[in-house]
Structure 1
Amino acid sequence: MIDLERRKKLALHLRHLSVGLISNDDFEENLMDDVTHGWLPEQYYRSKQAKSDDEIIQPMLELCWGLYDDTRNHKLKGTDKLSNESLKIIARCILFLQSEQEYEWPYFNANNPLLKFSLGEIIITILSIGQYYRDKRKEQEIAFAEFKKLGNFEVWPFSTKINTRNN
């Protein structure tokens, strides 16, 4: 299911965040109003809407959350400015969000596994002097390498590169 209205709102807010027009706190408030049904981007996966949502929304929210430091209010300017490579990826994401294309990649949770650890896993991590966490990170790195092989990752979130040259 494609939710073009929410995609376009997410694209607009992402563009404003990425070029420093709005702060990260403003961005989160805008998303909560327009995209996530009141959920913070990093918690949206818990919502009932996330289970049957447009497939691109959750990966985009997770990508967005990784762009800024959510422990302080700031704009992505100066020392917080995004790299040219990050801006290139964001531009491609905005283009995808404005399209009517289905998201064809499987879901991949790129967030730090520590964020979703249970109490038991935190205790195991402490008792293993961090080895359990390092093992989980290694598993995630291997899974991500396999994920990237599922398509042309250089054009993610698109699934294939479109040749726009006239023949």
Structure 2
Amino acid sequence: MIDRISRDKLAETLRQYVSGRVTNDALDNLEINTKDDGVIAIKDAAWFLYDDLYQHKAIGKHRIEKDNRHEVSKWIIFLQSDEEYLWPRPTTFQKLFSILTLGFYKVNNSNKGEKEAWPFFTMESLENALKKPKLLNGETKKKK
């Protein structure tokens, strides 16, 4: 199930956080009431981007490094796409173990999907989304 409102809200907040315009609290406190597994999984993954012990922006020592910025860009592209999230839901144990290992244990460990494409399921679906970007594509929204 795709929840366009939640996807757009999370994509925009991620963009603002990574660019240093909002604090980690804006991302951490973003309320997402959805059954869209992609939104839930990406919000969970975003928790590893910041220090939740105090409020800060992603600047200075909290700046998101280039590799991680590239990864977050993939998440945003996914959120803006109409791709279904096909990865299996992690068990409570997998989530807990990931937290205890500070994210070294990845909960998205399905053998069927292509891990480098996450949150897309395959590199082909990622490449297709990259060919049809929602932002900066030269189109303007039609007025209603």
TM bracket, shorter-chain basis: 0.7 to 0.9
Query: Matches of residues 120-159 of structure 1 in structure 2 within 5 Å?
Result: 141=105, 144=106, 147=109, 149-159=111-121
Query: TM (normalized to structure 1)?
Result: 0.63
Amino acid at match of 2:28: E
**Identical aligned residues as a percent:** 30
Aligned length: 122
Q: Distance in 2 between matches of 1:146 and 1:2?
A: 19
Q: Distance in 1 between matches of 2:95 and 2:48?
A: 8
Q: Distance in 2 between matches of 1:97 and 1:60?
A: 9
Q: 41, 53, 76: which one pairs with 1:94?
A: 76
Query: TM (normalized to structure 2)?
Result: 0.73
Give structure 1 regions of 4+ aligned residues with deviation exceeding 6 angstroms: none
Structure 1 residues 111 and 79: alpha-carbon distance in aligned structure 2, compared to 1, 3 A threshold: farther
Q: Distance in 1 between matches of 2:78 and 2:98?
A: 30
Alpha-carbon distance, 1:25 to partner: 1.6
Q: Does 1:58 align with 2:55?
A: no
- The structure with the larger Rg is 1
Unmatched tracts of structure 1, length 5 or more: 38-48, 116-132
Q: Deviations over 1:15-68 (max 9, x none)?
A: 111121111123334x12xxx24xxxxxxxxxxx5xxx0111221111111111
- Is 1:62–1:111's contact at 8 Å kept on the other side of the alignment? no
Query: Matches of residues 106-121 of structure 1 in structure 2 within 5 Å?
Result: 106-108=88-90, 111-113=95-97
